[in-house]
Amino acid sequence: MAKPSIGVYGLTGCAGCQLNIINCEDELLDIAAAVDIKSFIMAQTGNVECEIDIAFVEGAVSNEKQKKQLLDIRERAGLLVAIGTCASWGGVEAMINDVPREVAKKDVYGDTMKDNPFYDCFNPMPLKDVVKVDFQIVGCPIERPQFIQAVASLLNGNLPLLPTYALCTECKFKENECLLIEQDKFCLGPVTKAGCGARCPSNNIPCEGCRGPVFEANYASEVEIMLEKGYTKEYIAQQMSTFAGTISAEDLGARKLVKTDIP
Amino acid sequence: MKSLRMAKRHLPKFLESLGKWGKVYVPVKLGKNSYRWEEFDGEVDNIALDALRTVIPAKKFFYKPREVMFEYDKTNGYTQACAECEEDVILFGIHSCGIHSLETLDNIFAGKYVDNYYFTRRKNITIVGTSCMPDKHCFCKSMGADTVDEGYDIFLTDLGDDFLIGVGSSKGDDIVNDNPDIYEEVDESTTKRYLEFRNKRDESFELVLDTSDLPTILDFQYDNPLWDELGERCLACGSCSMVCPTCYCYNVDDTINLDSETGERWREWDCCLFRDHALVAGGHNFRENQGGRLKHRYLHKQQAYLGDFGRTACVGCGRCIVACPANIDYVECLKAMRGEMTSA
């Protein structure tokens, strides 16, 4: 039986997630033995864009060219896995999605963008807004063991079991002092998906939410808690949109849960 | 059961002696206002004798937050993985509520299918309890967990200049016999001071919950809208459960390696406030909204466990009250269900 084929692609992002795959140095040979890597521009030459079993896509969609590329990948791939918070939630490039794109572009590039097609971009959006996404491996960047575990599970016909609960749970596993409660720090742990081993709070740094929202993120309650602690509405919205800017301000303040239907 | 007294200056010697029975763990200060169980570093001053609640309770010594249950291999079958299972551990500084919580967990893990992961470790653990003075979040007295008559090897009660040493098991007896010079017989003054301590402690409880008739009241209050109001505030972050000394639910998952031939079975602490907890095949969820999940947790502590084992599963340590980012207060909520005026 032929080995399952995969492709690794990058849209708008820092390429850190793809780099983290290449950084799986101890497992790279095992990965190469288990799958046939058809396309991975960052890692190899001689790439072939053909039908593949699994596509791993990093980055947000921010222009028409990428949208077309993603639709093409989706058509060729059996399973499409979003890797990283950009691909899953828009990531840092979506943090100013509430500012009209034309204004943002003008602010950053001034007149230099005139007649340059490179600047033809729209508000960055997660893959799920364009195509059906079968699974997300979140993180900024993704955690190497989770990528390997996901590949191994998918090879055996299972959706990977990665943590679905909030970071607080993992932070408790680490027996950390609660930075939100005991130190009144602005911590997004209660609404952020676990899986990083509570890396920041374990080093006395509050969670910035880089893994994106937990399945049913109660932003409304988090906002209330932070307002009570004296943080301003503007500050709260700014912090919350750093990694999950595609969740609208309306959702952030409303008395409702922000749900995602992707495992 | 026998009682002795030991001058406080002998504490270093006492702890040194404990080391002969295994690795000694003690509560140490962490950050601004928290405590954590850590291996004793030999410095008595580093022990937080005044610590009321560690972030994670003593259950972590028998029941790990996440652990491998066994490894599997297509050709060789299963290998049980329990590396530190046979390690002898001494817990110095566990309080009365903590000792009660161990009994609560013992009941669960000794059920129809005895949990060997738990009991293999549990039997190797020596319990050296210490007395405490309640703060505003302690309500162990209401839960009948403010004193202990059994469940420990040694129990130290702080009587000012010295400790009353309660010996609760033959292992405890071995420990005091190892170092007979540091102990003295109790005398009239010890009795007097012990009774004074008890009265003072009894009067120090600020938080009181009337538990009489509570299972029935909770039955009547099943549709109280307060459950959903609290559910709207609940972040489902899992903190209350993780820090709870009697929460025992776990989730089991298998991981497979890239060779598709070997892998591991894990178990990990779970929580009934998580969406996935009551999620079953087909996407059906027995507890669809957060209020229902929160109610389930409260009812299990105060009603279901009681039905099975004759006492509430809550020991009143106050950890869940302290650990909730949304200030959801277990006692206030139950008071409200009783019809008492509260701020819940």
Q: Where are the domains of chain A?
A: 5-155, 167-258
Checking if the pLDDT of B119 tops 50, the result is yes
pLDDT number for residue A252? 52
Kindly state whether residue B28 falls inside one of the protein's structural domains: yes
B219 and B199 in one domain?
Answer: no
pLDDT number for residue A199? 97
Put simply, the answer to whether B258 touches A221 (Cβ < 8 Å) is: no
Query: Could you count the other beta carbons within 10 Å of the beta carbon of residue B85?
Result: 16
Checking if the pLDDT of B267 tops 90, the result is yes
State which residue of chain B sits closest to A162, comparing Cα positions: B253
Question: Which of chain B's residues have a Cβ under 8 Å away from the Cβ of A220?
Answer: 232
Residue B151 DSSP one-character state:
S
Q: Which two structure tokens, joined as six digits, stand for A233?
A: 């509405």
- B334 pLDDT tier (thresholds 50, 70, 90): very high
Q: Which of A176, A190, A224 sits opposite B237 (nearest CB)?
A: A190
pLDDT number for residue A254? 46
- B342 pLDDT tier (thresholds 50, 70, 90): low
Q: What's the CA gap between B230 and B326, in Å, rounded?
A: 9
Percentage of residues of chain A with pLDDT beyond 70: 93
Q: Which two structure tokens, joined as six digits, stand for A72?
A: 């093409």
Q: List C-alpha distances in Å: B266 to A44, A224, B251, B254.
A: 35, 36, 8, 6
Beta-strand pair B125-130/A258-259: unpaired
Q: Does the CB of B247 have a partner CB in chain A at under 8 Å? A: no
Checking if the pLDDT of A248 tops 60, the result is no
pLDDT number for residue A255? 42
B199 and B218 in one domain?
Answer: no
User: How large is the average pLDDT for residues A148-154?
Assistant: 96
Of B158, B177, B203, the residue at which a domain comes to its end is B203
Q: How far is the alpha carbon of B169 from chain A, nearest alpha carbon, in Å?
A: 31
Of B178, B203, B228, the residue at which a domain comes to its end is B203
pLDDT number for residue A102? 85
Checking if the pLDDT of A186 tops 50, the result is yes
B198 and B126 in one domain?
Answer: yes
Kindly state whether residue B251 falls inside one of the protein's structural domains: yes
Q: For residues A122 and A249, which has the higher predicted lDDT (pLDDT)?
A: A122
Q: Does the CB of B112 have a partner CB in chain A at under 8 Å? A: no
Q: List C-alpha distances in Å: B210 to B114, B136, B178, B207, B217.
A: 34, 16, 44, 10, 11
Checking if the pLDDT of A1 tops 70, the result is no
In CATH terms, the fold of domain A5-155 is: Rossmann fold (3.40.50)
User: How large is the average pLDDT for residues A151-160?
Assistant: 93
- B343 pLDDT tier (thresholds 50, 70, 90): low
pLDDT number for residue A150? 96
Among B residues 72-111, those touching chain A with beta carbons less than 8 Å apart: none
User: How large is the average pLDDT for residues B239-249?
Assistant: 98
B229 and B188 in one domain?
Answer: no
Q: Does the CB of B266 have a partner CB in chain A at under 8 Å? A: no
**Please, are residues B160 and B200 in contact by the beta-carbon 8 Å criterion?**
no
Checking if the pLDDT of B85 tops 50, the result is yes
Q: How far is the alpha carbon of B190 from chain A, nearest alpha carbon, in Å?
A: 38
Put simply, the answer to whether B34 touches A214 (Cβ < 8 Å) is: no
Tally of domains in chain B: 2
B170 and B84 in one domain?
Answer: yes
Of B203, B236, B270, the residue at which a domain comes to its end is B203
B32 and B169 in one domain?
Answer: yes
State which residue of chain B sits closest to A225, comparing Cα positions: B326
Residue range(s) defining the domain that contains residue B299: 214-337
Residues of A with a Cβ under 8 Å from any B Cβ are 27, 30-31, 33-34, 148-149, 151-153, 155-156, 158, 161, 164-169, 172-173, 175-178, 180-183, 189-191, 204, 214-216, 218, 220-222, 224-225, 255, 257
User: How large is the average pLDDT for residues A53-68?
Assistant: 97
Checking if the pLDDT of A6 tops 60, the result is yes
B36 and B117 in one domain?
Answer: yes
**Please, are residues A6 and A37 in contact by the beta-carbon 8 Å criterion?**
yes
Q: How far is the alpha carbon of B297 from chain A, nearest alpha carbon, in Å?
A: 16
- B236 pLDDT tier (thresholds 50, 70, 90): very high
Kindly state whether residue B117 falls inside one of the protein's structural domains: yes
Interface probe with A: pick from B61, B237, B255, B256, most Cβ of A within 10 Å: B237
Checking if the pLDDT of A118 tops 80, the result is no
Q: List C-alpha distances in Å: A123 to A57, A61, B299.
A: 18, 8, 47
What digits encode the pLDDT tens for the residues A78-110? 999 999 999 999 999 988 888 888 888 888 888
Q: Does the CB of B275 have a partner CB in chain A at under 8 Å? A: yes
User: How large is the average pLDDT for residues B233-245?
Assistant: 97
B279 and B168 in one domain?
Answer: no
Beta-strand pair A135-137/B183-185: unpaired
User: How large is the average pLDDT for residues A21-48?
Assistant: 96
Checking if the pLDDT of A38 tops 80, the result is yes
User: How large is the average pLDDT for residues B14-39?
Assistant: 96
Kindly state whether residue B167 falls inside one of the protein's structural domains: yes
Checking if the pLDDT of B321 tops 90, the result is yes
Q: Which residue has the tokens 């309770």?
A: B57
B224 and B107 in one domain?
Answer: no
Put simply, the answer to whether B239 touches A151 (Cβ < 8 Å) is: no
pLDDT number for residue B86? 76
State which residue of chain B sits closest to A173, comparing Cα positions: B65
Q: Helix (H) and strand (E) counts for chain B?
A: 12, 12
**Please, are residues B61 and B87 in contact by the beta-carbon 8 Å criterion?**
no
**Mean pLDDT (chain A, rounded):** 91
B262 and B148 in one domain?
Answer: no
The HSE-up count of residue B157 (CA atoms within 13 Å, CB side) is: 23
What digits encode the pLDDT tens for the residues B206-228? 999 999 999 999 999 999 999 99
Kindly state whether residue B115 falls inside one of the protein's structural domains: yes
Q: What's the CA gap between B178 and B173, in Å, rounded?
A: 9
What digits encode the pLDDT tens for the residues B179-210? 999 999 999 999 999 999 999 999 999 999 99
B88 and B23 in one domain?
Answer: yes
What digits encode the pLDDT tens for the residues B8-22? 999 999 999 999 999
- A260 pLDDT tier (thresholds 50, 70, 90): low
What digits encode the pLDDT tens for the residues B131-186? 999 999 999 999 999 999 999 999 999 999 999 999 999 999 999 999 999 999 99
User: How large is the average pLDDT for residues B250-274?
Assistant: 95
The ipTM, to two decimals, is 0.94
| DSSP labels, A80-149 | EEEESHHHHH-BGGGTTTTS-HHHHHHHHHGGGGTT-GGG-----B-GGGTS---EEE-BTTB-HHHHHH
Kindly state whether residue B25 falls inside one of the protein's structural domains: yes
Checking if the pLDDT of A253 tops 90, the result is no
B262 and B192 in one domain?
Answer: no
Question: Which of chain B's residues have a Cβ under 8 Å away from the Cβ of A155?
Answer: 258, 260
Q: How far is the alpha carbon of B318 from chain A, nearest alpha carbon, in Å?
A: 15
User: How large is the average pLDDT for residues B60-71?
Assistant: 94
Kindly state whether residue B342 falls inside one of the protein's structural domains: no
User: How large is the average pLDDT for residues A46-53?
Assistant: 97
Q: How far is the alpha carbon of A246 from chain B, nearest alpha carbon, in Å?
A: 20
User: How large is the average pLDDT for residues A68-75?
Assistant: 98
